[in-house]
Structure 1
Amino acid sequence: MRKFRLLMACIIVAGGITSCQKEETKNELPEEVAVQPTKAELEKLFNMGINIDNVTIEDIPSFDGTTTKHFVSGDITIPYDGLDDYAELGALEDGNKQYRTPNIVAPAFRNIRILGYTGGGAALSSKMQTALSWAVANYNALPNTLNFNLTFGTNTAAADIIVYKVNNSSGGASAGFPSSNGRPYRYVRINSGMDSFTTNVNEHVMGHEIGHCVGFRHQDWFNRQSCNYTGPLPAESPAIWIPGTPLSFYEDSIMLACFGPNEDGEFSSSDIQSLNILY
């Protein structure tokens, strides 16, 4: 989940896994269900450019009350049964720049229908709905090939991305990356605790997670500077730099790993530049 940067007691280099709030449940699960990733799974995730310092396997709730297993690293979620759909990366040139995943949204799927979910306990609050409207407007204001059509309701069948609320009192959200089929990642999960933040901060978090859905990495993925992380750094740089983006890793990007209480929700110049280069 994307984490509020002041809540650092449980944040690790993976970008905010709150493992100290979780209790061991291995003995409560059937033996055939994996609780921790295998060595091979971790190797695959690493080769995808995912920080593997604290990857967990969790049941992620859907808007309809069902759950599906995902690998979780910070605010990044990868479907457990879909791991093979994601390409691996090689170690590329070092440099503190804007990064993306190997999979981006294919031209055929760049008219993206976003649904702000309004049904039952997964319904976005009024503040969240306003923030989502602002975040989508930021994307649509850019002169590129991405186009977002936002509606509110419960018709999930007609949506490419579904934004819904999950019952979690902490600030943050989670999403994933496009898979090899060229479609955007389908689910953005907003923690209920985001209602305690301003509409602008909600806009920032919504825009960040949509960024992941269309293929953007954390700009500071390699050192988590926005999370005040000072631990060991990855030995390699398995991410794809977007040519033409700035050298600075601390550009106040909307794609920084952690956020603060005063975010304005707007794209930085490097965000705009990288979106327009990529799409």
Structure 2
Amino acid sequence: MLKKAAVLAVSCGALLVGCGTDPEMENQEIIANLVEAGYQADDIKVVDGAVYAGRDAHVTLEASREMLQAGEGTEEQYRTNNLINTSVVTTICINPTAQFNRYANLSAGLDLAIENYNQRNLAIRFVRGPATGCTANIAAKTAGGTGGSAGFPSGGLPYGTINIGTGLNKYSVDVNEHVITHELGHCIGFRHSDYYNRSISCGGSASNEGDAGIGAILIPGTPSTGTLGGSIMNSCFRSTETGEWSSSDITSLDYLY
């Protein structure tokens, strides 16, 4: 997720690859898969050896292959084809690093983001780790800059990492709550609510992330058009964010989980 009118280059962990594989070749395949799936080239970035689509969603090789297998989605918005398998995943533990915990507003924002989800009484529950009884885990790590990044579900499991910029610590706890809630939303399958025109929340010229083969599927009961401040899942955030769900966000959560 980006601060309005500012592009974030995040510093992420090393790309995980199998023995004997070439990370550069893997990235080339990921990019080729994304382009074939429908992403525009200028919405694909390689940062610190990892491929990002939509500017803040990390895409692994496995996930990029799933995009091609999933088939086409609609031309509307909100969720990916890939979701959490709630028959397997019921308790998702969010495990912040020691570095993450050193930033008071990031740490407080994580607690509030977890609360945001748990207040909805969903089929999945979030717990701040370390904890027992986890059926899936998401690491909460720090990154440079201001904003965050994550990825989409794969194999019925949530994406395993959120990266939150330490520059967010200078913003209110509510803004930190907003950004962390947003990145966790990607981990469980939510697209940007203004994916088709990022200028709605980011300003500047219109930019369309496209369907991308992962789906941009309108959730029943939600609007097909995004508005500034209308969703936690908008592409970019403002310094005035409250960190609370909009009515359409709540409809989306309740419908899916």
Name the TM tier (shorter chain).
0.7 to 0.9
Letter in 2 for 1:197: Y
2:14 is aligned to none
Higher relative contact order (CA 8 A, sep 6+): 2
Structure 1 residues 269 and 41, CA gap change in structure 2 (3 angstroms): same
Structure 1 residues 143 and 54, CA gap change in structure 2 (3 angstroms): closer
1:99 is aligned to 78
- 1: CA distance, partners of 2:210 / 2:64: 23
Structure 1 residues 256 and 47, CA gap change in structure 2 (3 angstroms): farther
Asked if 1:79 is matched to 2:83, the reply is no
Quick check: 2:79–2:190 contact (8 Å CA) kept in 1?
yes
- 1: CA distance, partners of 2:253 / 2:47: 31
Structure 2 unmatched runs, 5+: 11-21
Structure 1 unmatched runs, 5+: 19-31, 60-68
Q: 1:234 Cα shift? A: 6.1
Q: 1:177 Cα shift? A: 0.4
- 1: CA distance, partners of 2:129 / 2:222: 32
2:45 is aligned to 56
Q: 1:48 Cα shift? A: 4.6
State the secondary structure of the residue aligned to 2:59: strand
Q: Which has the larger radius of gyration?
A: 1
- 2: CA distance, partners of 1:216 / 1:132: 18
TM-score, with length taken from structure 1: 0.74
Report which stretch shifted further, 129-138 or 230-239. Answer: 230-239
- 2: CA distance, partners of 1:236 / 1:183: 21
- Of 148, 151, 157, which aligns to 1:183? 157
Quick check: 2:89–2:136 contact (8 Å CA) kept in 1?
no
Structure 1 residues 192 and 108, CA gap change in structure 2 (3 angstroms): same
State the secondary structure of the residue aligned to 1:273: helix
CA RMSD of aligned residues (A): 2.9
- 2: CA distance, partners of 1:17 / 1:240: 27
1:216 is aligned to 190
- 1: CA distance, partners of 2:62 / 2:44: 15
Q: 1:47 Cα shift? A: 5.1
Letter in 2 for 1:77: H
2:94 is aligned to 115
2:72 is aligned to 90
Q: 1:144 Cα shift? A: 2.6
State the secondary structure of the residue aligned to 2:24: coil
Structure 1 residues 232 and 77, CA gap change in structure 2 (3 angstroms): closer
Number of residue pairs the alignment of both structures matches = 239
Q: 1:261 Cα shift? A: 0.4
1:3 is aligned to 2
- Give 1:156-171 correspondences, 5 Å limit: 160-166=137-143, 168=144, 170-171=145-146
1:66 is aligned to none
Quick check: 1:254–1:265 contact (8 Å CA) kept in 2?
yes
Q: 1:124 Cα shift? A: 4.8
**Cα displacement string for residues 69-111 of structure 1 (whole angstroms, at most 9, x for unaligned residues):** 421131110124653244444152x45xx41111100013432
Structure 1 residues 235 and 199, CA gap change in structure 2 (3 angstroms): closer
1:45 is aligned to 34
